[in-house]
Amino acid sequence: MNGRDQTKVAWITGAGKGIGRALALRLAEDGWTVAASARTEKDLVSLEQAAPGGRIVGFPLDITDAGRADVMVEVIENRLGPLDLVVLNAGTHKPTPAEGFSATEARGVIETNLTGTVNCLTPVMARFMDRGAGQIAVVASLAGYRGLPSAAAYGASKAGLINMCEALRPELAAAGVDLRLINPGFVKTPLTDLNDFPMPFLIEVDVAVDRIVAGLEGDGFEIAFPRRFAALMKILRLLPDRLFFTVTRRMLRQ
């Protein structure tokens, strides 16, 4: 990824707030033309106004609308030119503890985080594979490594994204397409501001964007941060079940 090449075009979903917004602004500052998608048009208007030289163009999208997502790549490319980078960042979170577990609420999280991402990924992959070029980054989460209390739906959706990217990576690489997986920990955004529990190793959104940009310019598959939190989560992934559940039982609220 060469952020200083002014001919480059990127598409970022979930760009209205948080990581997506900050990343869109960073790429625009580096000379990219950025197609920014979000459900809330007001957020996109604000983002366009904050961008240097009109380099960000808003394309409203609810990623759970499969029909609209399927044509969005064509809409963007017809206006801005061929895409070089796509960052599928849109997502949501809602606690889903065992007590009062709701299929409706769980379905809403999974349809946004997993199915919504697939809705956008499908047309992007088809075009990039035809061209034999392009970079795709899917934003999952460190929470997808193992199941954590109160995050049954969120963790399941992010684990699904991780597994999907691992499965697709070899085939896409063979077709000349560069697939990356982004696994953030806790990043200070309007979404995490709603959390009422301790968030270890919480980082500012600009630090997260630094990690993402550096990772996309590197050659690794996974971009995981903060590093210490990622290391701890990787250890949890390796623990035998008996030890793992001993740890997560201690995480339950008393």
Domain range summary for the chain, segments of one domain joined by +? 9-249
Give first-to-last CA distance, the chain, whole Å.
Answer: 47
Domain 9-249, CATH: 3.40.50.720
Residue 250: Cβ within 10 Å count: 8
Catalytic residues: 154
What residue type is 202 in one-letter code?
L
- State if pTM tops 0.85: yes
pLDDT confidence of residue 195? 63
- pLDDT of the chain, 254 residues: tens digit per residue: 444 445 799 999 999 999 999 999 999 999 999 999 999 999 999 999 999 889 999 999 999 999 999 999 999 999 999 999 999 999 999 999 999 999 999 999 999 999 999 999 999 999 999 999 999 999 999 999 999 999 999 999 999 999 999 999 999 999 999 999 999 998 877 766 666 656 677 889 999 999 999 999 999 999 999 999 999 999 999 999 999 999 999 888 64
Closest CA to 139 of 63, 239, 83, 76: 63
CA dist., res. 249 & res. 96, Å (int): 16
